[in-house]
């Protein structure tokens, strides 16, 4: 069976590579706009399911699709459109706790495994200088919530409760457990 990762994220590619020896990459092209008043958990699960459905085309393919969303209060904070939006997001996170949800859908067209992983992240108070220095790295681009915890922005984190890999965007432990439904893949 062929394995396809429905993502172009280098982090997801690296983490899946720790679990399975070979797979291909086929990013899903879907509309990632939240529906009005959509619950953040329902949103992230819908995104992962739609990505999997967009890529799944036969029973000879196992598709692994993932989506991550960052939530502050009830506001879904996706990927920033530009540096100004990224700056606004990071200012909102300063000195507060926000939630990160990652949903993963694994399907071979006949059976499906759905994973929801969560973490709460508390940021230290951030200065404008810290935010500007981070934005200058470009690391915030194409990341939900405008930050990547595995790089420079890790210095902003005071504490984490939950799965670190949910924040990175691919809960490797939960995915490993789910892949046991397809034992031939892991041998």
User: How far does the chain reach from its first CA to its final CA, in angstroms?
Assistant: 12
Axis crossing angle, helix 128-137 with helix 83-93, rounded to the nearest 10: 130
- Active-site annotation holds for 67: yes
From the candidates 67, 82, 83, 142, give the one annotated as an active-site residue: 67
- Check the CA dihedral 42-19-143-55 and report its sign: negative
Q: CA dist 142 to 10, 14, 18, 169, 176, Å?
A: 11, 17, 23, 12, 25
The set of catalytic residues is 67
């Amino acid at each position: 069976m062929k394995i396809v990762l429905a993502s172009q994220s280098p982090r997801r590619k690296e983490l899946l590579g720790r679990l399975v020896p070979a797979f291909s990459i086929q990013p899903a092209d879907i509309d990632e706009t939240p529906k009005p008043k959509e619950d953040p958990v329902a949103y992230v699960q819908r995104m992962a399911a739609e990505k999997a459905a967009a890529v799944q085309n036969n029973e000879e393919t196992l598709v692994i699709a993932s989506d991550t969303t960052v939530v502050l209060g009830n506001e879904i904070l996706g990927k920033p459109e530009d540096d100004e939006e990224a700056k606004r997001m990071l200012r909102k996170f300063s000195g507060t706790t926000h939630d990160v949800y990652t949903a993963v859908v694994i399907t071979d067209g006949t059976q499906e495994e759905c994973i929801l992983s969560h973490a709460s992240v508390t940021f230290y108070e951030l200065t404008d200088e810290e935010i500007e220095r981070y934005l200058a790295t470009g690391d915030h681009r194409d990341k939900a919530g405008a930050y990547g915890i595995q790089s420079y922005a890790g210095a902003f984190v005071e504490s984490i409760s939950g799965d670190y890999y949910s924040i990175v965007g691919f809960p490797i432990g939960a995915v490993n457990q789910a892949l046991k439904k397809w034992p031939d893949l892991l041998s």
